[in-house]
Amino acid sequence: MSVAAGRLNAVNGDEQLLRGRIYGHDHDDPDPGPRPGRSYVALVGGPLDGLLLDVTGWTPDQIAGGAALSTELGRFGAGGRALYDPRPGDPSRFDWSGDSP
């Protein structure tokens, strides 16, 4: 296997690890995926791209307001927040709109 192919496999493996993971769940959770009876939206773009956000119990107004999610991966590092807004016409996705300190 070439070095480039090895890197590609490592990247694809990292992406697969993130798919289906829930924002805020422990990284070593033995079952990091969605749970029955819960409602999720997909985070699209930005530092949390590919994660799911559990919105179970959120009101329509709360969902319409989007989410400011703590992350060390954004522009502002530790203590920063990634901002996500609901995608118009697709309530199952929140699109990244920027970072905040």
Give the angle subtended at the CA of 29 by the CAs of 19 and 5, to the nearest 5°.
40
Residue 13 near residue 45 (C-beta atoms within 8 A): no
Residue 53 near residue 40 (C-beta atoms within 8 A): yes
- 43-58: average pLDDT: 95
- pLDDT of 71 above 50: yes
Residue 87 near residue 94 (C-beta atoms within 8 A): yes
The three-class DSSP label of residue 5 is: helix
For 17-49, the pLDDT digits (tens) are 445 788 887 767 777 778 889 999 999 999 999
Residue 21, token pair as written in the block: 């993971």
